[in-house]
Structure 1
Amino acid sequence: MLPHWRCLDIGTGIGTVATWLSRRCPDGRVVATDRDCALLPPAAERDWEALEHDVTTDDFPNRSFDLIHIRWVLSHLRDREAVLARIVRWLAPGGWILIQDLDRFPIASSPDPVYRKVSEAMCDAVEARIGTDTSWARTFPAPLRRAGLVDVDTEAHVAPTGATAMGRFWLGSTDQLRGDLLDQFAVTEPELKHVREQMVNPSYRDFALASVAAWGRRPSPRHA
């Protein structure tokens, strides 16, 4: 990463990555986008641009950025690989893209059958509600190769559940999905209670979603 790079942070959320990028590219440009920028700090408190932007319909000029970061966005889109291919066109030749998404694969190996059943049902419920593909990230880095990128690679991080940050996220997810789990995915009240109790249990440890990252570079003309 060079100080003059032009950077795009898609699905910026509260802008933490945009802030990190702006500190490392002080002579460049950082644009942070989201469909709703209400959670971002005021303009006077940041040194990067914020833009309300729908990645499925809105565009940027080709070759506009040296680095594009997309975290936990593409797996929620039904036409995710078509959107990715369009985003790649926004990269300058030689520019890099980093994508991150959540994947369910650690759940299948859980030694706790109730936790495994409820957690897999939670993933199924999200897929049914909004079309999220909670197994897409396990295919990384193949989508980047199909988009024409080179020097691709991937890695994954799995945070533990129990009385942890991921456990709190999983507990909140059971609240949001409770009706779906009980009515549509054959989860019982005792099973849901078991998982909820474990998510505040300091001695309990398991795994839920993995955060999978993949990155690649748009070929320069001499390497195309």
Structure 2
Amino acid sequence: MSSGSQPSASGAAIPDEVYGDSIFDHGRDTEVSRLSALTEELDPVTWQCLQAVGVAAHWHCLELGAGTGTVSERLARVCHQGSVLATDLDLTYLPPPDDTNLTVRRHDVTAEDLPTESFDLIHARYLLCHLRERNQVLRKVVSWLKPGGWLLLEEPAQFPITSSPHSAYHTVSMGIFSVLAERIGTDCHWARHLPQSMAAAGLTEIGVHVTSSLVGGDRPMSRFWRLTLEQLAPHIVDGGHATAAQVREVATQLADAGFHDLGMATVSVWGRKEEMP
């Protein structure tokens, strides 16, 4: 994929970089640590939601944007009579192919299709918010569900940080969201509308779970946010979103066990595709 931006008809810049081109590149030394911190924070939440769905041993499952593969590997153990397909644009952190029921495949969800009505469960976490085509992708993903199949989407939401009482933390974190929106088209407001979006895509039995996170010290979300800031700091400062001094202050706060504030929320929404009468 190319990087940078091109002007729109109105003169505004349209980003043409995608997640992983340079921002969040898997070749970066700290990227696996950043993703592993998010995994530590969110895997228990994901499994709480999957238990609400009721995963069965014979299910055929798809995980989009599988990342480090922890959810896919556990799904493969639970669905031991079925199968799990784990996909991502970059397979660096996913387990190598073996003789189990877990298959790993490079797949671009924005450009490539999968067979319709193929999966009992489709899961994606922190994926669609980074796709400019997120609404079209949602409709396409729903078509891959079998009648009666479940979709579980988990997306970050910035609203807890918007109300932060810590000035530098608020300013710098808003800078992170702005850089991601400008560079790769990320929308961390989108999750707030996810229940309605999934219902509009034809899913029923909608369930919602919202998780708050804490930052400060060695908490997983704090490590994730600190490593995200470390990577995006030059863009935040160069783009005028925050000063270098504010960035240093927040990096220190995030590493301080005595600092307490809310990180991003995670909005987990599941819904079922209606069975044929």
Normalising by structure 2, we get a TM-score of 0.77
Partners of 1:119 and 1:208 within 8 A in 2 = no
Deviations 1:84-142 (A, max 9, x none): 10110110001000001111111012111221111111111111110000110011211
Identity %: 39
2:171–2:241: 8 Å Cα contact kept in structure 1? no
Partners of 1:4 and 1:27 within 8 A in 2: yes
Among residues 122, 126, 139, which one is paired with 1:68 in the alignment? 122
In structure 2, give the amino acid aligned to 1:209.
M
Partners of 1:65 and 1:47 in 2: how far apart? 14
Residue 45 of structure 1: CA displacement? 7.8
| Structure 2 segments unaligned to the other structure (5+ residues) | 1-54
1:81 corresponds to which residue? 135
Structure 2 CA distance, aligned partners of 1:193 and 1:61? 48
Counterpart of 1:114 in structure 2 is 168
State the one-letter code of the partner of 1:153: G
- Is 1:153 aligned with 2:169? no
Aligned residues: 222
Asked whether the equivalents of residues 59 and 120 of structure 2 are also in contact (C-alpha less than 8 Å), the reply is yes
How far apart in 2 are the matches of 1:178 and 1:75?
21
1:35, CA displacement in angstroms? Answer: 1.0
Contact 2:83 2:101 in 1 (8 A): no
CA distance in 2, matches of 1:218, 1:122: 35
Q: Does 1:8 find its partner at 2:62?
A: yes
SS in 2 for 1:221: coil
Q: Report the Cα offset of residue 195 of structure 1.
A: 0.5
Q: State the distance in 2 between where 1:153 and 1:186 align.
A: 36
Asked if 2 retains the 8 angstrom alpha-carbon contact of 1:137 and 1:212, the reply is yes
Deviations 1:182-207 (A, max 9, x none): 12134112211211110111111111
1:30 partnered with 2:88: no
1:156-210 superposed Cα distances (whole Å, 9 cap, x missing partner): 1122111122111111122211122112134112211211110111111111211
Helix, strand or coil: the match of 2:176?
A: helix
Matched residue, 1:220: 275
- Structure 2 residue aligned with 1:172: 227
Structure 1: stretches of 5+ with no match in the other structure: none
Rounded Cα–Cα distance in structure 1 between residues aligned with 2:153 and 2:180: 20
1:55 to 84, 109, 114: 109
Query: Which one of 259, 265, 268 corresponds to residue 204 of structure 1?
Result: 259
Instruction: Judge conservation of contact 2:236–2:242 (CA < 8 Å) in 1.
Output: yes
Aligned to 1:128: 182
Query: Where does residue 38 of structure 2 map in the other structure?
Result: none
Conserved 8 A contact 1:140-1:154: no
Amino acid in the other structure paired with 1:75: C
Q: Distance in 2 between matches of 1:46 and 1:39?
A: 18
Distance 1:94 1:204 in 2: 46
Distance 1:47 1:218 in 2: 24
**SS of match in other structure, 1:50:** strand
Mean alpha-carbon deviation: is it higher for 187-196 or for 4-13?
Answer: 187-196
The answer (yes or no) to whether the contact 1:35–1:54 under 8 Å persists in 2 is yes
The one-letter code of the counterpart of 2:267 is V
Partner in structure 1 of residue 29 of structure 2: none
C-alpha separation between the residues in 2 aligned to 1:201 and 1:8?
38
TM-score relative to the length of structure 1: 0.95
Q: Which moved more, 1:90-99 or 1:150-159?
A: 150-159
